[in-house]
Structure 1
Amino acid sequence: MIVTAAVSREKGAPLVVEELELDAPRSTEVRVRMVGSGICHTDAVARDRIYPVPEPSVFGHEGSGVVEEVGSDVRGVQVGDHVVLGPSYCGKCAFCRSGQPMYCENGFTELFGCRRHDGTTAFSKNGEMVGSHFFGQSSFATHANVNENSVIVVDKDAPLELLGPLGCGLNTGAGAVLNEMRPEPGTSIVVFGTGAVGFAALMAAAAVSCSTIIGVDVHDSRLELARELGATHTINSSTQDLHAELKKITGGRGVNYALDTTAISSVVRDAADALGTRGVLVAVGAAAPGEEVSFEVGSSLTKGWTFKTVIEGSAVPQVFIPRLVDLWKQGKFPFEKLVKTYSLKDINTGFEDSASGAVIKPVIAY
């Protein structure tokens, strides 16, 4: 069939909206008619070839849509189902089989390979192969053949056009808090960077009754929204003394948990320095390969603090994403307040608005 897609043809160049041919879904694939797709920083990372990806390719990894066709070996998904599309994983390695699919041993290929396992692509144009299956989905297209492991069935009474970001950015922020930190009620957390991932973390922390929830950013407008969505305190690190403010808020004890969403090495160090005794720092930002951070380990040794990197919120998407939908229904995860929609032809404007900070979560509406 003929579909319309946004294609990345050159490093760093704007995406090109064009018509492509989409082949028939394989036995382990699901054809999805896209209803929405979030624009995520990782799409820009791929566009700019910070991570190596084939050219040309169709990106997009926060899709939502309706199932139109199901491969013969697919189970648990039916035509007409409303679905969110999450990261792909092999399902066969030791980590997948132990319930940790976001740490799949074949993860890089599954996410960034833009090919099926047999080397083929679902998209083509006049005989030219065009990369597909980015994160198992390539949702910057009106239709896509999606890996079975990327498909999560959700309730039909949820706003499907807005649900796509649950597949990556919101899953990442909320999962970092709920699946990794698991904060007890009454504990404290600071979130560095109030983009979509950071806001998801703030909302998750509020949902589990953290008593001190601190948002740190350089945009006052985002910090104002952070207070609306669960932050008890905010700090503009460009105009305020970050560590003095944190000391004042915590009474000098430091925070129990810190989350970095920025992937800026100096900010990660600030997050580590914000921790109190037995504090936990989680980094989820996509830093460039080779990026390094230095930590003070002399006087901080007695804190017994922990640093960990977390991928996709350490989630099992088929379990965790429906839980986020349930939190939304309860009014505890109002992610719709982060979203601005764009048409596919305006996708590059969405990328620009995300990069400038003008929009928290751009979503392509098909």
Structure 2
Amino acid sequence: MPITTRAAVVESGGAPFTLADVQLDEPGPHEAVVRMVATGLCHTDLGVASGGLPFPLPGVLGHEGAGVVEAVGPAVTGIEPGDHVVLSFTSCGECGNCNGGHPAYCATWLPLNLIGGRRADGSSTISRDGEALGGHFFGQSSFAERALVDERSLVKVDPDVPLESIAPLGCGVQTGVGAVWNVLKPVTGSTIVVLGAGAVGLSAVMAAALTPATTIVAVDRVGERLSLARELGATHTINAGEADLVEALAAITGGQGADGVVETTGNVTVLRQGVDALGARGTLVVVGAPPFGSEVALDVNGLLGGKRIVGLTLGDAETQSFIPALVDLVKAGRLPLDRLISTYPFADIDQAVRDMGAGKAIKPVLTF
């Protein structure tokens, strides 16, 4: 029997989230039904809801879910009803990158997660009054009381850790932490610069504080976020509204430039400044996504000192090992995610969206 559940539906690009009853399809062999306990709200959800990406609307978004498994398909292994799970992106599990431990670069990542709205076979996971809705968002569409979730989106986690405290691990936090740990891999004495002190940027700051980097610089235009960055491990902060970024970084690094930069703003001007601020053999990780088709001009001769620019999706994380490790760090108090989270009842999703847009909430988490 299909399951009826309440979901936040976006009817068309730019429309608000509205609560409606929808029907979930029967779980396939490699799917599970998860009762949602919490789900984070991410800028990617807002970008799709605004009509900025070619996802089929009306549809159900949400991709930082956390909940309790209620039922599993016959081919699902290692997960059973009653398990606590954090939901992350899905992947095919068969291509070269999936087999090589890099599922965020799955050959079918875009249609499976971001723009397809359906399963790989083209069938729909969510409908309303017999009409298919856009769903299968990151293999989960977790803006609903129940979600039909791809097996490869499920990550079993420690049931002693409150799910609302770890829901953002599935996307935003994993992205910021992975930028530092999986790409920059700071060595002793490194200088790490984080451009943008939102949820992803502050996650990168917390991750850098758990490495041998000795200089951690957070850059933003909001003073309160810079203060929070210091509390989370930044050794220096730069208010980009008051200081020239390249000059300020030169002063902090004694003219040597940064070893690693994490660009989270999606602003191509900031990206260019970040590349210019790199030292010899430095690496900039591009995390923030501007509108499709955006380009940036670079000083080619400036790159010849061994600079690298690396694009990143979802921290280049292998979720089954990465997310449980992050949960352990949250449990131990070493990754203080609670400092980023503001909780809202699911019905108040539009208030959460407004607060996120106004900068009042760094990481809204909807609770069920």
- Shared fold per TM-score greater than 0.5: yes
CA apart distance, 1:39: 0.4
Shift of the 302–108 alpha-carbon distance from structure 1 to 2, 3 Å rule, reads closer
Q: Distance in 2 between matches of 1:306 and 1:330?
A: 34
Q: Secondary structure at the match of 1:238?
A: coil
Amino acid at match of 1:74: V
Partner of 1:205: 208
CA apart distance, 1:339: 0.3
Partner of 2:123: 120
Give ranges in structure 2 of 5+ residues lacking alignment: none
Q: What is the aligned counterpart of 2:171 among 168, 181, 195?
A: 168
Q: Secondary structure at the match of 1:149?
A: helix
Q: Deviations over 1:87-130 (max 9, x none)?
A: 01111112111111100110111112111223222222211112
Residues 13, 52 of structure 2: 8 Å contact kept: no
Q: What is the aligned counterpart of 1:336 among 330, 335, 338?
A: 338
Partner of 1:133: 136
Q: What is the aligned counterpart of 1:294 among 278, 297, 303?
A: 297
Partner of 1:46: 48
Shift of the 228–116 alpha-carbon distance from structure 1 to 2, 3 Å rule, reads same
Q: Secondary structure at the match of 1:197?
A: helix
Shift of the 276–61 alpha-carbon distance from structure 1 to 2, 3 Å rule, reads same
Q: What is the aligned counterpart of 2:99 among 97, 100, 104?
A: 97
Q: Distance in 1 between matches of 2:96 and 2:163?
A: 33
The within-5 A match list for 1:198-347 is: 198-298=201-301, 300-347=302-349
Q: Distance in 2 between matches of 1:363 and 1:270?
A: 32
Q: What is the aligned counterpart of 1:84 among 80, 83, 86?
A: 86
Q: Distance in 2 between matches of 1:275 and 1:258?
A: 7
Q: Distance in 1 between matches of 2:126 and 2:315?
A: 30
Cα RMSD, aligned residues only: 1.0
Q: Secondary structure at the match of 2:147?
A: strand
CA apart distance, 1:350: 1.0
CA apart distance, 1:302: 4.1
- What is the aligned-residue identity percentage? 48
TM-score normalised to the size of structure 2? 0.97
TM-score normalised to the size of structure 1? 0.98
Q: Secondary structure at the match of 2:273?
A: helix
Partner of 1:37: 39
Q: Deviations over 1:152-202 (max 9, x none)?
A: 001011121221110000000000110111111321100000010001100
Q: Secondary structure at the match of 1:207?
A: coil
Q: Deviations over 1:307-335 (max 9, x none)?
A: 01011000001110111112223322101
Q: Distance in 2 between matches of 1:185 and 1:330?
A: 24
Residues 344, 367 of structure 2: 8 Å contact kept: yes
Partner of 2:68: 66
